Amino acid sequence: MKHYSLYVLLLLLLAGCGRSGGETPPPQGGAAPAESADEFVARANAELEELYRELGAAEWVRSTYINGDTAIIAAAANARYQKWHGEMVKSSLAYEGQELDPATRRAIELLKLGTSAPAPGDAAGRKEISTLSTDMEGMYGAGEYCRSDGDCIPGPELEQRMRDVRDYDELLEYWRGWREVSVPMREKYARFVELANEGAVELGYDNLGEMWRSNYDMSPADFQAESARLWGQVKPLYDELHCHVRARLGEVYGDDKVPQEGPIPAHLLGNMWAQEWAALYDLMEPFPGVGDVDVDTTLRTRNFSPQEMVRSAESFYVSLGMPRRPDTFWERSQFSKPRDRDVVCHASAWGLDGGNDLRIKMCINQTYDELRVIYHELGHNYYQGAYKDQPPLFQGAAHDGFHEAIGDTVVLSMTPGYLAEVGLVGSAEDDPRAVVNRQMQMALDSIAFLPFGKLVDEWRWGVFSGEIAPADYNRSWWELRTKYQGVAPAVERSEADFDPGAKYHVPANVPYSRYFLARILQFQFHRTLCEIAGHEGDLHACSIYGNREAGEKFHAMLEAGASQPWQDTLEVMTGTREMDATAIVDYFAPLMAYLKERNEGRSCGW
C-alpha cells in the first residue's frame, strides 16, 4: 500500500519528472559556495517545511476531490517543488569532496537521491524525459485488451479475470492481450533509460541502477550481494512451494500443459504477473474447511462502521504504549467512499504538515481483508508520527523496505488467539491442520512474491548498466523470471514484445527492491518483538498485543526515521545490523514440513 510522509510523497511525485528550468547553477571553477554545508542543509529543511505543507494539501485534495480544478492545483504545487528541488540538487554538488559533519553529509545525499529518474542538465533532455515518463504511465493507465469483436477489457478487469477464471485457453487469451499494451512502450523505454542514465552520471553515479543501489547505506555491489544472500535464505521454502503448486496444477490441467520437470506456465497462477498466487488457494487448501477464521461474519453481524474498524486497529497500537490518533485524524481522514464525488479509493496513509497532521484514505468495506489493510496503513501512520520531530530531510524510513514492513509486522500478530481475545471470532482454533491451512494461504501471497520482488530491479540494474541491451530486453526478462520464479510463457515471446512494460512499476520507474526487503523485514521484526515479549512456542502463534516492552522497542526504532544508517536503526530493536530472512523459515516451519511430505517422490526444480 502507498504511504505518504512529507518527503516520501515528494519523492514519488518527482519520479520521472527530473529538474525543471530556472535553476541556479553550482559555483564553477572551484569557487567557494556562498553558504556552508550546514547552512545549506538548514535552509533546505526550512524551505521544505513550507513546500511540504503546500504540496501535501494539494495532493490530498486531488486524491479526495478528483476534478479538473484540483488537477491544476496539484500540478502547480508539484511544478514549484520540482523547480526548487532542481536548484537545490545542483547547489548541493558544490559540497562534493568537502569534509562534512556526518548528519550534514547524509542530508545532502538524501536530497540528491530524491528522485528515481534524474533528468539530464539541458532543458531539452529534461523536457524529453518528463514527456516519456508521462506517455508511458498514460499508456499503462489507459491500457485495455480489445478483442476482434470490438469488446475492450480494461486492465483492472483483466486482473480480476486472471484471479477468477480457471480455463487454460481463456487465461492465456487475457495474459497475451494485456501484453499488447506494452509493445508500443519499448522504444520509449529505451530512450528513457538513456536520458535517466545521463542524469545519474551528472550526479556522480555510473548509471541509474548504481544510483538506486546507493540508497542503502552500503556500496552498490554490497547491496546486490545482500539481496542475493537474503534470497538464498528463503529459496528452499520457495522451491518446495513451487514443486507442490506445479504438481497440483498438473492435476488440474494435465502434465501436457504443466510439465512436471519444467517451469510453470505464467498465466496459470491466478495473477497477471504470477507475482502472488493467493487466488489459487481454493485449489491448494491442504485440509478443506478446517479452521477458517471468519471475521467477516462478526463485522457484518455487529455492523462495524469504518471508524469502528479503524479504532479496532488503533487499539492494537495503543496496547503497545503508542498514542491514540489525534482528533484531527478522525476529522480529516477519508474512511468511506463519498457519494457526491470521485475519489482515489486505493488505501494510503498520509503524514501531512511534517507528520503533525496524520490521516488515512480508504473506502472501507466490512471484510477481514479490509481490516488487515487498516492495520497495515496505521503502521505507516505510526511511523510518520514517530519521526515527525526529525528534520524534513530525515522524515522517512530507515530504508524504503522499512515503511512497508511496519504495518505488516503488526498484521502477523493478528493470530486466532488475538482475534478471539478482542471478540472478532468466537474461539481460537488450535487444530494443527488449521495452522497449515493458514500458512498455505499466507505463503501463496508472501513466499510466492519473493523471487519476483527481487528480479524486477535485477533486470533493470542490467538494463541501466548496459549489460542488457535493448535488443535483449524480453529475452533477459524471461531468463530471470525462469531462473528465480520457475515460470515461463506458454507461448513464444520475441523481441517484438516488451513484457516488462506490462508491469506498472517498469513504465512508471518505481524501484521495486523495497517490496522484497519489506517481506523479509516484517518476519525479522516479528521474531524479535516476540522474543522481547517473552513468547514461548511456535513463532506463528505469537501476538505481541498488549506488550508494552515490545512496543517501546518498536517505537524507538520508528523515531529515528532516516536520520542514521538503517543498520543503526535495525540494531536498536533487533540487536543485529543485518537483515535476516531465517525468521521466514522459522515462521513457516509447519508448512515446510507439510510441503516436504507432499513433495516426497516428486521431481522438484526446473
Among candidate residues 385, 426, 473, the one with its CA nearest the CA of residue 190? 473
Kindly name the residue from 23, 198, 240, 404 that is annotated as catalytic. 404
C-alpha cell at 123: 532543458
Contacts of 182 (CB under 8 A, 6+ apart): 139, 140, 143, 497, 498, 499, 500, 501, 502, 507
CB 459 within 8 A of CB 252: no
Closest CA to 270 of 166, 364, 369: 166
Rounded CA-CA distance 356/329 in Å is: 10
Phi, psi of 588 (to 5 degrees): -95, 25
**Active-site pick, 77, 347, 398, 560:** 347
- The span from the CA of 115 to the CA of 585, in Å, is 35
Q: Is 602 helix (H, G, I), strand (E, B) or coil?
A: coil
Residue position matching grid coordinates 554545508: 37
- Of the listed 54, 87, 428, 505, which one is catalytic? 505
Neighbouring CB atoms inside 10 A of 577's CB total 12
Q: CA 275, CA 453: separation in Å to the nearest integer?
A: 8
89 vs 118: CA distance, rounded Å: 10
Catalytic residue among 59, 240, 276, 377: 377
**How are the residues of the chain apportioned to helix, strand and coil, as percentages rounded to the nearest 5?**
60, 5, 35
**CB 486, CB 606: distance < 8 Å:** yes
Known active-site residue 376: yes
Distance between CA 144 and CA 138 in Å, rounded?
12
Contact 256, 601 (CB under 8 A): no
State yes or no: is 404 an active-site residue: yes
Catalytic residue, candidates 71, 96, 346, 556: 346
Instruction: Please say whether the beta carbons of 23 and 75 come within 8 A.
Output: no
Name the one residue in this structure whose C-alpha cell is 525543471.
Answer: 20
From 7, 515, 545, 594, active-site residue:
515
Is residue 399 part of the annotated active site? The answer reads: no
The catalytic residue among 85, 376, 403, 535 is 376
- Sequence-separated (6 or more) residues with CB below 8 Å from residue 95: 33, 37, 40, 108
Q: Do 223 and 213 form a contact (C-beta atoms < 8 A)?
A: yes
Which residue is catalytic, options 380, 399, 403, 555?
A: 380
Contact 591, 585 (CB under 8 A): no
To the query of whether residue 170 is one of the catalytic residues in this protein, the response is no
Alpha helices in 203-261 (DSSP H): 208-213, 220-253
SS (H, E, C) 288-343: CCCCCCCHHHHHHHCCCCHHHHHHHHHHHHHHCCCCCCCHHHHHHCECCCCCCCCC
Residue 504 CA to its chain's centroid (Å): 12
**Can you spell out the DSSP letters for 53-86?**
HHHHHHHHHHHHS-SHHHHHHHHHHHHHHHHHHH
Which residues sit opposite 488 in a β-bridge? Answer: 265
CA distance 114 to 15: 9
Question: In 37-176, at which residue ranges do the beta strands (DSSP E only) sit?
Answer: 144-146, 152-154
Catalytic residue list: 346-347, 376-377, 380, 404, 505, 515
